[in-house]
Amino acid sequence: MTDFTEEEIEAGRLLFAGPCDFLKGVVALDGLPPADRVEFCFAGRSNVGKSSLINALTGRKALARASNTPGRTQEINYFDLGGRFWMVDLPGYGYAEAPKALVARWQELLRAYLAGRPTLRRALVLIDARHGLKAVDLEILDLLDSSAVSYQAVLTKADKLKASDLARIVEAVRAGLAKRPAAHPVLHVTSSETGAGLPELRAEIAALG
> For the segment 137-156, what is each residue's pLDDT rounded down to a tens digit?
998 899 899 999 999 999 99
Where is average pLDDT lowest: 34-43, 83-92, 94-103, 172-181? 94-103
Structural domains in the chain, sorted by start = 6-206 (3.40.50.300)
Mean pLDDT of 184-195: 97
Mean pLDDT of 163-173: 97
Task: Compute the residue count for the chain.
Answer: 209
- What is the Cα gyration radius of the chain? 16
Q: How many CA atoms lie within 13 A of 105 on its CB side?
A: 13
In angstroms, rounded to a whole number, what is the distance separating the alpha carbons of residues 32 and 12?
26
List the Cα angle 54/152/27 in 5-degree steps.
Answer: 55
Mean pLDDT of 182-187: 95
Closest CA to 59 of 154, 199, 157, 155: 199
Query: Predicted confidence band at 97 (pLDDT cuts at 50, 70, 90)?
Result: low
